Amino acid sequence: MTDVNLETLIAEKLIGNSPIMQQLRTIVNFAGRCNSSILITGPSGSGKEVVAEAIHAISDRRNATNIAVNCGALPDQLIESELFGHEKGSFTGAVNRHVGLFEQADGGTIFLDEIGDMPINMQVKLLRVLETRIVNRVGGNRNIGVDIRVIAATHQNLRECINNKSFREDLYYRLCVVPIEVPALSERTEDIPELVAHFLSNLGGSSPLPIFTKEAFAALQHYDWPGNVRELRNAIERACVFFSGKQVFAEDVAKLIHSDIAPAHPTGGATASTATDRSLKDQYAPHIADQALPVFEPRGDDVRDLNLHLQHEERRIIMRALDGSHGVVSRAARSINIKRTTLIDKMRKHNIDGRVAEPMDCQVTA
């Protein structure tokens, strides 16, 4: 694979041209050329598995198996069997021989997601496999050699886990030969237009796609995205459902983010014009190849201060949620799909106490 092809493949998987993403693509390019263990860190939803897929796709192992496993999703009593396999009759319920994921990934890559959640006793066994490249099935006595590339990922601070004795220091150094940190979306908001275009091109179906106005785009960049790229993708997919063929305005973004869906423009006044009512899949396809910004339609209302408008809109949603929950904060938080502590912080920010209040329709005028 030529350098040009490598860069093209990486760019297709790791969307965005911010400086921090350009640096990430450079690191991934180097990581794909080596065979060392890799530790990917970053907040939940930032795209750690996508980075792992990109590394495998540009490596010499790209034609072999790439297996992903979430260490936190495997029960403690089954994780050894799942990873390393077991022999028939080795324990109650083992009616057949099972080939573990490490054996299945022989010649390819195994991605150990949420490695920080792996039980401490399993960390010892994983360390041995990483050092010897030999697995032993549960209940077996045969050494089975495996040729694998190990990529691990976690959202946790493994240094802190080492200090509190929940993660082995020797395993950390064995995994962290090539460290890669994936940035939070809030650190690269300039990439949001390209991410939106990418998601829309993949979500395009028989229904017309939503059209994001410039103000909606600015609102997306203003939000801090605690769920990162995963949360953005969910919001864009939600827009495809509820704003198909319609313009998405700044006030609609808050509804999309907080799952407070009630399309603000059900009548024809805010639908796309004939010129823009065509499928947007063709509109966004050239964007991915040419790295151009998507076209956002102008808005025709009188919002002059976007930040102030978003603050009023957020306060209105919180007040309505509190009113609907009769002042019960935990219930209000669930109704708008945020954590209770997050809602309390926002209530303090907007100077809202816990008493039942009538919802407010705040209008921002010139």
Q: Please write the tens of the pLDDT for every residue from 143-154.
A: 999 999 999 999
Percent of the chain with pLDDT over 70: 80
Q: b/e string for 306-328 if b means 16 or more Cβ within 10 A?
A: beebbbbbbbbbbbbbbeebeee
Lowest mean pLDDT among 38-47, 275-284, 336-345, 355-364: 275-284
Q: Please state the rounded mean pLDDT for residues 86-90.
A: 89
| Mean predicted confidence (pLDDT) in 209-214 | 92
**pLDDT tops 70 at residue 305:** no
Question: Predicted confidence band at 320 (pLDDT cuts at 50, 70, 90)?
Answer: confident
Give the range among 141-145, 209-213, 334-338 with minimum mean pLDDT. Answer: 334-338
Please report the pLDDT score of residue 311 as a whole number: 74
Q: Is the pLDDT of residue 195 over 60?
A: yes
- Predicted pLDDT at 203: 83
Mean pLDDT of 42-51: 95
State how far the Cα of 44 lies from the Cα of 231, in Å rounded to an integer. Answer: 10
From residue 5, give the alpha-carbon distance in Å to each of 12, 57, 132: 11, 11, 34
- Mean pLDDT over residues 343-357, rounded? 72
Q: What is the pLDDT of residue 354?
A: 54
The pLDDT score that the predictor gives to residue 310 is 76
Report the chain's mean pLDDT, rounded to a whole number. Answer: 82
- Higher local confidence (pLDDT), 261 or 338: 338
Looking at residue 259, its pLDDT comes to 56
Q: What is the pLDDT of residue 262?
A: 43
User: Sorting pLDDT into bands at 50, 70 and 90, what band is 58?
Assistant: very high
Please give the structure tokens belonging to residue 350: 């907007």
According to DSSP, residue 295 is labeled P
What is the rounded CA–CA span in Å between residue 237 and residue 242?
9
Domains of the chain are: 3-183 (3.40.50.300), 186-290 (1.10.8.60)
Confidence grade of residue 309 (pLDDT, cut at 50, 70, 90): low
In this predicted model, which residue has the larger pLDDT, 117 or 325? 117
Which three-class secondary structure string do you get for 107-175? Answer: CCEEEEECHHHCCHHHHHHHHHHHHHCEECCECCCCCEECCCEEEEEECCCHHHHHHCCCCCHHHHHHH
Q: Which tens digit of pLDDT belongs to each residue from 244-273?
A: 889 999 989 988 887 544 433 433 433 333
Average pLDDT, integer, range 302-327: 74
Question: What's the pLDDT at 364?
Answer: 36
Contact criterion met (CB below 8 Å) for 63 and 23 = no
At 93 the pLDDT is 82
* Residue of higher predicted confidence among 328 and 25: 25
- The region of weakest confidence among 97-106, 109-118, 210-219, 333-342 is 333-342
Distance between alpha carbon 83 and the CA centroid of its chain, in Å? 25
- Give the per-residue pLDDT at 268: 40
> Given a cut of 70, is residue 1 above it in pLDDT?
no
Helix (H) or strand (E) holding 70: strand 66-70
Residue appearing with tokens 């076209």:
295
CB atoms within 10 A of CB 121: 10
Task: Give residue 128's pLDDT band: very low, low, confident or very high (50, 70, 90).
Answer: very high
Using CB atoms within 10 Å of the CB of residue 270, give its burial: 0 to 12 exposed, 13 to 18 middle, 19+ buried. Answer: buried
